Amino acid sequence: MNHLSLIIKREYLTKVRNKSFIIMTFLSPLIMVGIFTLVGYLSQLNNDKVRVISVLDESGLFAEQFESTDNLKYERVDGLALSEAKKITEENGNYGLLFIPKNNNIDELAKSITFYSEDSPSLGTLDDIEDAIQEKANTMKLTEAGIDAARIKELRVRVNTRLETFKGQETSKLGSGIKLVFGGAAGYLLFMFIIIYGNMIMRSVIEEKTSRIIEVIISSVKPIKLLLGKILGTSLAGVTQFLAWVILLGLFSVIASSIFGIDPGSMPQQQEALAQADAAGGMESIVQDVFVEISNLPIANLVVMFLLFFVGGYLLYASLYAAIGAAVDSETDTQQFMLPLLMPLILAVYVGFFTVIDNPHGTVSQVFSYIPFTSPVVMLMRIPFGVPLWQQIISVVILFATFIGTVWFASKIYRVGILMYGKKASYKELAKWLKY
Amino acid sequence: MEKLLVAENVSKSFGEFKALNDVSIEVPKGSVFGLLGPNGAGKTTFIRIINQITMPDTGKVILDGEPLQPHHIQNIGYLPEERGLYKSMKVGEQALYLAQLKGLSKSEAKQRLKYWFDRLEIGDWWNKKIQELSKGMAQKIQFVVTVLHQPKLLIFDEPFSGFDPINANLIKDEILKLRDEGATVIFSTHRMESVEEMCDHIALINKSNKILDGRLIDIKRAYKNNTYEVGLVTENHESVAAELKERFELSPATFKTINDELQYKIKIDETATANDLVAYLTTRGQLTHFVEVIPSANDIFIETVKNN
């Protein structure tokens, strides 16, 4: 077996067999599902408590408007004086008292409604109450003005602007959202991958230095081979872990939802969003739209470029992580080098999530999708919005050219650094190493 | 004598710092060659050049008649001074890995490891992790890994550090055995007593320059200066001592004895011989002790480095 495959095999096996690696592989998805389940469970628990609201409606106009639900009950206390009603509400331990005074002017009435309660009421409950009153008040005002409220409801129009490029490619706002999800997911995935496994490479380089085995290895293998083997072996372990996470996350979600009856994926906000979508135009049509939009995405382009940028971007950073590992004696010394490495990465994510969303083809987005240290993340986010192929190719070429440069740089640092013990490397020192 | 390794005019600089300056060294086949020098003299740089870890700026290295090439790493076994093993890896697995990196096939490596593990009686460590072993135990594994691929040239940098005296002796015997089986050994150390015991050739490097090399015996011959250690029983110590002081260059000596005697190191003229001195001394008393003072490797080391 040749050296490179031996090294890759060893790196891969030691990573994969490492106890903390195995534990993290299982624990991370477990914790994630656990947290979502817990949050889902707690919010459900919250909802299970029945709140009783006393309603004192002196106007007699709105009492019918309040429909009790499973966890919110309205109790009419008609005919009591306000002070009495307050007392009773408090004594019964009810959530609060809604007081609607008598007033013939609807506008004035709307302003004089009061909610009495022990603590500040939840905004959600208040919204529900206000919505109910508002609807009725609106209808009443419309009727007053001689307009048929039911007719207006019928005539309401739902607007969904269709977007189309000059070349005739159809998109929509929904489509933009989906593109964003795809691009964002790809960019963020790469970001996470670089940070987690770049660090792992760095630590494994440091380990070889601290255990002093490096010189034994280097007397059998060229440093560049060891460097490459390390990066590739660790990356394979990373891909393995990522796949395991995807599978386990799915598995644990299914288990959690079947045990607790909670879908950890559906958080309250999402439910709300779905409910809104439902109201707006029916679930089915939305789902259909989503599928249409997804099929409209340049899938082949996306997949190929994802692979290229992922590999290129990851290797670029991985080689620098390895160089840092070689330059220091222990992990605590890495700080001064980590910041300049992380800055462009974080910048890329910021540019991606703020500028690209705002204007995927603006100058800032374009520039950052050429700079090799940010291009993998930024370009991956831009591609779903349609980037001309020549731009993509230029960006990939720049990325790989820079990658060759950083590998050269990293291997220089690595070659010298791995044999330097006890010397605290400064940037000046590193510059000197390049000339050795 | 046939040379296994010839370094010709090797120089190496790191930035401003000159680590090796025009060093030429010849290592005879089948010898134990001591590479000596104070800390920071350039020994490790020289060894790393032989191992092709660093490349020389100028000069060349010839191994067994061929200029040094990448495939030569299979012919060299190197035990660095800064050495260690993967702590969380199992002994057997690790030894197999390192042996395969040196070009052995897996089955061959296994077979030889079994032989060596039996020879050093460490067979039952195979499935232990390095972190479970003591430092000395780990050093044994390291030694096995170094010699496993039967290299023509073995390079040991401070091989005995980390060993207790028993294991140090064991390793010393193994090294000599390997030499008898045909290997050539380069041996870098500060411990002069082991140089004395093991080396037949030495080279001394100081401040990036080679300042001395050759057979240890020849060097000692060159450094001896007609000095003899004598013990003399006389009837009158004071008068004989005064007379000796007048005639020779004297320095005090101490050696264990059962007699009450004069003990001196006596340096005689270049032209005089030991016999002349013996003849003279026997006329002054009973000669109980007469030894030629041969400079130790330690003396030579200190003297040359100081004078350099």
| Residue pLDDT, tens place only, A100-155 | 888 777 778 778 888 888 877 778 778 888 888 888 888 888 888 888 877 887 88
Does any domain span residue A241?
no
Taking Cα atoms as reference points, which of B71, B129, B70, B119 lies closest to residue B95? Answer: B129
- Looking at the complex, report in whole angstroms how far the Cα of residue B83 sits from the nearest Cα belonging to chain A: 5
Residue A362's pLDDT is 85
Same domain assignment for residues A311 and A205: yes
Q: In this structure, are A187 and A147 located in the same domain? A: no
CB B272 within 8 A of CB B226: yes
Chain B partners of A10 at a C-beta cutoff of 8 Å?
97
Interface test with B, best of A7, A14, A204, A220 (most B CBs within 10 A): A220
Q: How would you list the strands of the sheet with A51-57, edge to edge?
A: A72-76, A51-57, A96-100, A114-117
CB atoms within 10 A of CB A44: 13
Cβ–Cβ gap A6/B101 under 8 Å: yes
Give the mean model confidence (pLDDT) for residues A196-212. 89
Question: What is residue B10's three-state secondary structure?
Answer: strand
Amino acid making up residue A321: Y
- pLDDT mean over A349-356: 84
Residue at A240 is within a domain: no
**Cβ partners under 8 Å of residue A267, min gap 6:** A36, A39, A40
Domain made up of B225-292: CATH architecture:
2-Layer Sandwich (3.30)
Which residues of chain B, if any, have pLDDT below 50? none
- In chain A, which residues touch B (CB < 8 A)? 1, 3, 6-7, 10, 14, 18, 207-208, 211-213, 215-222, 419, 421, 432, 435-436
CB-nearest to A421 from B82, B98, B142 is B82
Q: Higher-confidence residue: A158 or A222?
A: A222
* Cα gap B287→B262, rounded to integer Å: 10
Query: What gap in Å lies between CA A31 and CA A252, rounded to an integer?
Result: 10
At B27 the pLDDT is 94
Going from N- to C-terminal start, the domains of chain B cover 3-221, 225-292
**From residue B108, how far is each of A213, B98, B99, B103, B124 by CA, in Å?**
23, 13, 9, 10, 19
DSSP codes, B159-218: TTTT--HHHHHHHHHHHHHHHHTT-EEEEE-S-HHHHHHH-SEEEEEETTEEEEEEEHHH
Query: Which chain B residue has the Cα nearest residue A226?
Result: B101
For residue B107 the two structure tokens come to 């089955």
Matching residue, tokens 């395991």:
A244
* pLDDT reported for residue A241: 92
C-beta atoms of B145 and A216 within 8 A: yes
Q: Which of B207, B228, B170 is nearest to B306 (CA)?
A: B207
Which chain B residues are within 8 Å of A419, Cβ to Cβ?
48, 53
**Residue A317 domain-assigned (yes or no):** yes
Q: List all residues 6 or more positions away from B188 whose beta carbon is below 8 Å from its beta carbon.
A: B34, B35, B36, B43, B44, B47, B81, B155, B156, B157, B158
Contact (CB<8Å) A14/B53: no
- CB-CB under 8 Å, B102 with A218: no
> Hey, are the CB atoms on A222 and B102 less than 8 Å from each other?
no
Q: How far apart are CA A373 and CA A395, in angstroms?
A: 11
Assess contact for A231 and A311: CB atoms under 8 A: no
In the prediction, which pLDDT does A436 show? 64
Asked whether residue A29 is assigned to any structural domain, the reply reads: no
Question: Could you identify the residue written with the tokens 């998805």?
Answer: A29
CA dist A253 and A238 (Å) reads 22
Give the CA count within 13 Å in the CB-facing half-sphere of A43: 13
φ and ψ at residue A41, rounded to 5 degrees: -65, -45
Any domain includes A90: yes
Asked if the C-beta of B126 comes within 8 angstroms of chain A's C-beta atoms, the answer is: no
Asked whether residue A356 is domain-assigned, the answer is: yes
Of residues A184 and A10, more confidently modeled? A10
CA dist., res. A202 & res. A195, Å (int): 11
User: Could you report the per-residue pLDDT of A421-436, keeping only the tens digit for each?
Assistant: 666 667 777 777 776 6
Residue partners of A423: CB distance under 8 A and separation at least 6: A329, A429
How many A/B residue pairs have CB atoms within 8 Å? 65
Mutate to test the interface with A, among B52, B53, B98, B153 (most CBs of A within 10 A): B53
Residue A99 β-bridge partners: A56, A114
Residues A212 and A98 in one domain: no
Are A235 and A197 spatial neighbours (Cβ–Cβ below 8 Å)? Answer: yes
With cut-offs at 50, 70 and 90, classify the pLDDT of residue A269. Answer: very low
Judge if A65 and A142 occupy the same domain: yes
The verdict on a CB contact (< 8 Å) between A216 and B88 is: no
Boundary of a domain, candidates A136, A155, A174: A155
Contact A221 B82 (CB under 8 A): no
Q: Which two tokens stand for residue A380?
A: 């991956």
Tokens matching residue B246: 């007048």
Residue A364 lies in domain: 183-234+289-433
B121: alpha, beta or left, given left = phi > 0 and alpha = psi -120 to 50? left
Q: What is the ipTM of this complex?
A: 0.80
Contact A213 B85 (CB under 8 A): yes
* Residue that the structure tokens 């085995």 belong to: A213
Q: Is residue A408 part of a domain?
A: yes
* A137 and A215 fall within a common domain: no
Task: Find where tokens 């809104």 sit.
Answer: A276
Q: Dig out the tokens for B129 from the structure.
A: 């992790």
Task: Identify the band that residue A167 occupies on the pLDDT scale cut at 50, 70 and 90.
Answer: low
Nearest to B230 by CA among B201, B261, B258, B209: B261
Same domain, A391 and A323: yes
Task: Write the residue in A3, A220, A432 that is nearest to B15 by C-beta.
Answer: A432
CB contact under 8 A, A18 and B88: yes
Please indicate, yes or no, if residue A362 is contained in any of the structural domains. yes
CATH number of the domain at B3-221, out of 3.10.180.10, 3.60.21.10, 3.40.50.300, 3.40.190.10?
Answer: 3.40.50.300
Contact of B82 with chain A, judged by CB distance below 8 Å, is answered with yes
Name the residue of chain B whose CA is nearest to A14's CA: B89
Rounded-to-integer distance, Cα A171 and Cα B4, Å: 76
Determine the pLDDT at residue A262.
55
Q: Which residues does chain B have within 8 Å of residue A208's beta carbon, measured at their own beta carbons?
A: 86
Nearest to A200 by CA among A176, A167, A174, A236: A236
pTM of this prediction? 0.74
**Residues of chain A found within 8 Å of residue B51, distances taken between Cβ atoms:** 218-219
Edge-first strand order for the sheet with B32-36 is B76-79, B153-157, B184-188, B32-36, B201-206, B209-215
B4's tokens: 């296994």
Looking at residue A305, what is its pLDDT?
87
Instruction: Find, in chain A, the residue whose alpha carbon is nearest to that of B57.
Output: A436
Lowest-confidence segment of A160-169, A239-248, B115-124 by average pLDDT: A160-169
Same domain, A310 and A221: yes
pLDDT at A417 over 70: yes
Closest CA to B209 of B40, B76, B56: B40
- Say whether both A188 and A128 belong to one domain: no
Nearest to A215 among B73, B82, B98 (CB): B82
* Residue whose C-alpha is closest to residue A97's, from A77, A79, A112: A77
CATH code for position A62? 3.40.190.10
pLDDT of residue A282: 54
pLDDT at A267: 47
The encoded tokens of residue B166 equal 């028993």
Average pLDDT of chain A to the nearest whole number: 81
Q: Domain count for chain A, please give it.
A: 2
Gap from B136 CA to chain A (nearest CA, Å): 15
Q: Which of B190, B217, B183, B224 is nearest to B206 (CA)?
A: B190
Rounded to a whole number of angstroms, the distance from the CA of B152 to the nearest CA of chain A is 15
Contact B73 A219 (CB under 8 A): yes
Residues A194 and A138 in one domain: no
Higher pLDDT residue, A171 or B293?
B293
Nearest CA distance, A335 vs chain B (angstrom): 25
Q: For residue range A12-45, what is the model confidence (pLDDT) as tens digits?
A: 999 999 888 999 999 988 898 888 888 888 877 7
**3-class state of residue A114 by DSSP:** strand
Contact flag A211-B85 (C-beta cutoff 8 Å): yes
For residue B48, list chain A residues with Cβ-Cβ distance below 8 A.
419
For the residues A384-403, what does the mean pLDDT come to?
Answer: 89
Residues A131 and A190 in one domain: no
B85 CB near a chain A CB, below 8 Å?
Answer: yes
| Minimal CA separation from A433 to chain B, in Å | 8
- Return the higher-pLDDT residue of B164 and A278: B164
B160: Cβ contacts below 8 Å, ≥ 6 apart: B168, B171, B172, B189, B191, B194
Reported as a single tens digit per residue, the pLDDT across A37-62 is 888 888 777 666 777 888 888 877 77
The reply to whether residue B100 touches residue A1, judged by beta carbons under 8 angstroms, is yes
